[in-house]
Amino acid sequence: NAGVMQNPRHLVRRRGQEARLRCSPMKGHSHVYWYRQLPEEGLKFMVYLQKENIIDESGMPKERFSAEFPKEGPSILRIQQVVRGDSAAYFCASSSSTSGRTDTQYFGPGTRLTVL
């Protein structure tokens, strides 16, 4: 009964490098969400995806950030040319596709990105 899986748990990058964060949703869940948490702050929504589709990317920075959720494999959050301000905890959450109610999102353990 695996929960939401994220890897790596910790990622260190130098300025200008690329960061790839992976998320595997809970079994049976087809909706994936990415959130960012800066130190001592709450979580901020970034993007909402279903298989092969981006549903809502209103929280994604316009440049350098992209996300995908392919038909096979995990969801990927990609940050190109990282800067120090990208240092944060990145959380993935998943939910089921039950219609007619607001579905609970279950979170992974997060990836702590540090940009040197």
Partner 1 sequence: AQKITQTQPGMFVQEKEAVTLDCTYDTSDPSYGLFWYKQPSSGEMIFLIYQGSYDQQNATEGRYSLNFQKARKSANLVISASQLGDSAMYFCAMSGFGNEKLTFGTGTRLTIIP
- Choose between 76 and 89: whose C-beta lies nearer to partner 1: 89
Report the nearest approach of partner 1 to the CB of residue 99 (Å): 7
- Choose between 60 and 82: whose C-beta lies nearer to partner 1: 60
Report the nearest approach of partner 1 to the CB of residue 48 (Å): 6
Helix (H) or strand (E) holding 23: strand 19-24
Interface residue list for partner 1 (CB under 8 A):
31, 33, 35, 41-45, 48, 55-56, 58-59, 89, 91, 93, 95, 97, 99, 101-110, 112
Report the nearest approach of partner 1 to the CB of residue 76 (Å): 19
- Choose between 17 and 107: whose C-beta lies nearer to partner 1: 107
Report the nearest approach of partner 1 to the CB of residue 3 (Å): 9
Helix (H) or strand (E) holding 95: strand 88-95
Tell me the two tokens of residue 95: 């939910």
The per-residue DSSP string of 37-91 comes to E-TTS-EEEEEEEETTEEEE-TTS-SSSEEEE--SSS-EEEEE-S--GGG-EEEE
Contact indicator for 42, 67 with CB cutoff of 8 Å: no
